[in-house]
Structure 1
Amino acid sequence: MKKALISAQLKTKLLVILIISILLASALELYTFGIPSDFLSRWLNSFFVIFFMISVTVLGVVPAINYAVNKAAGR
């Protein structure tokens, strides 16, 4: 049997991050600029930036700090 490339837990985390990023990007763009002619490009840019920042934080920084603290505490 072939092993899944992405685990179910990671898929769930990415889906939650995706939904949060869509909502934050939409709220930010609509509140700041309204719906101008370049709404889609601005929204995509803000979506990718927010998605990248949340993903790096949740999937990279937090586990790394958790590992470092556990290692320093001797657990």
Structure 2
Amino acid sequence: MDNQQPNNPLHKIKLADILEYLVEYYGWEVLGEKIKINSFNNNPSIKSSLKFLRKTPWAREKVEQLYLKTKQK
């Protein structure tokens, strides 16, 4: 039962890994411009951003979509 989500491009990718990739790729400043959330713009950190994203589905969705777009480049 390892392939429960074969059509999900984010299957088995951790939110922390997605965020770390985006921060490395864009940096906090550009990431904060692309996705306007406080945890990216005011004293950003992986820990505070993950906490916010885990509680906020709309923000997590934006981060995941940006990740997918970035990986396609």
> TM-score under structure 2 normalisation?
0.35
Relative contact order, higher structure (CA 8 A, sep 6+): 1
> TM-score under structure 1 normalisation?
0.34
Q: Which has the larger helix fraction?
A: 1
